[in-house]
Chains A and B, each alone.
Chain A
Amino acid sequence: MEALIVSNILLWILLIALAFVVMGLVRQIGVLHARIAPAGALMLDKGVTVNEPAPQVTAADRNGRPVNFGYPGDKGQLLFFLSPSCPVCKSLLPAIKAVAKERPDLEVVYVSDGDPDAQAALIREFKLEDARYVVGPEVGMTYQIGKLPYAVLIDQPGILRAKGLVNSREHLESLFEAERMGIASLQDYLHSPDHAHGNAVKIHQ
């Protein structure tokens, strides 16, 4: 009897440990999925070209200050195109704010269009009162933005370095990676002959 009880307790403990291991494995697979899924900011093949001078346009921000886009300056620019009605844009705002804090050499400009009340609510919710926030269609039309959330990276001399549809923090980071490597987009990287058939990357397609 004693031996049976001891064996039973031992079995229960081992079963709990096993269930823990299974749960842990499933969690790890989940993390892997989350990491694999984003392949990089998707660049739609239209609009302004990467590694060319960015189109120059000037617009007033919410406080009436003029903001120059695409002009040479002492700071690079990150343009983040968003809309208050787009939930993905909202989920990316903390990441954009983190970039603004981390990169003092970069001027982060939020560009949006539409209902002023919704803009004000969004600005209050995410504490963007002090950020450069442009409301108006000019910039989006100049850069031919068709999908949101979209980000454009312009360097100090006014050259457009990277752009793309950004749906996650990883997509956003891929823009900086693209700027650093001088490659327009992940699609370019994969389709360029040096890389696609080299042993640097192997992607099953």
Chain B
Amino acid sequence: MPLDPILIHACALALAAILATAATHKLRAPRWFVAQLEAYALLPQGLLKPVARLLPLLEGAVALGLLLPLSRSAAALAASALMLLYAGAIAVNLWRGRRDIDCGCAGPGESQPLRPVLLLRNSVLLGLALLATATPLARELGLFDGFVAIAAAAVLLLLYAAVDGLLTNAPRLLKLTGR
């Protein structure tokens, strides 16, 4: 289904930035990320280190691919697969009843326990990725279209950061009110 290019560009830009930050915080705290993978208890011990090394590189590559017009739809498909994978990992651990482990979603220092809300967050990201896979409608793009795409991506990113902050704060608030 062809979509207006502005929509696709904005989604791809925002997703690329989200994946790039995810990759950098994983690369900057490799030991934390290995411990995080171990906490999810989905991989055998021997695979933890290679996967922890590989996953941020994959995220970085997908982020780069989203920015280039040639590889955009392929990269968007890869991003959807990543989001599905993460959602699956969260769902398996929720199903196991392990709500006390850290989600590891927003890097070290921003810990939050696993909750079903996180699946909703991942499905929103999945929606962004799926929108970015669509083929753009053929039309002339002017300077103003570029501005709108960048501005929309910036608003998406800021709102994502705000929602992420609210999600991190929610369990702390619950702890504070003692419920």
Contact = CB atoms under 8 A, between A and B. Distances in A.
Interface string A6-46: 00110011011001101101110110011011000000000
Given A33-B172, A33-B176, A37-B172, A22 B155 contact: no
Contact of A27 (B152, B165, B173): B165
A160 to B, nearest CB: 31
Interface residues of A, number: 20
A15 B165 contact: no
A23 B165 contact: yes
B158 interface: yes
B168 A20 contact: no
B158 A16 contact: yes
Contact of A19 (B158, B165, B169): B158
A12 B151 contact: yes
A16 B151 CA distance: 7
B158 A9 contact: no
A86 interface: no
Nearest to B154: A16
B176 A20 contact: no
A112 to B, nearest CB: 21
Nearest to B156: A19
Contact of B155 (A5, A16, A27, A30): A16
B175 interface: yes
- By size class, the interface of chain B is 10 to 19
A37 B172 CA distance: 8
A13 B152 CA distance: 10
B120 interface: no
Interface in B161-179: 161-162, 165-166, 168-169, 172-173, 175-176
Nearest to A36: B176
B149 to A, nearest CB: 11
A23 B155 CA distance: 11
B169 A15 contact: no
Contacts of A5: 144
A90 B126 CA distance: 37
A30 B154 contact: no
Given A15-B151, A16-B154, A26 B169 contact: yes
B175 A26 contact: no
Contacts of B144: 5
A19 B14 CA distance: 14
Nearest to B35: A87
Contacts of A36: 176
B173 A33 contact: yes
A19 B162 contact: yes
Given A16-B154, A19-B158, A37 B165 contact: no
A37 B162 contact: no
A142 B5 CA distance: 72
A87 B152 CA distance: 41
6 contacts: A16-B151, A16-B154, A19-B158, A22-B158, A23-B165, A30-B165
Counting from the closest, the 3 A-B pairs by CB-CB distance are: A26-B165, A19-B158, A12-B151
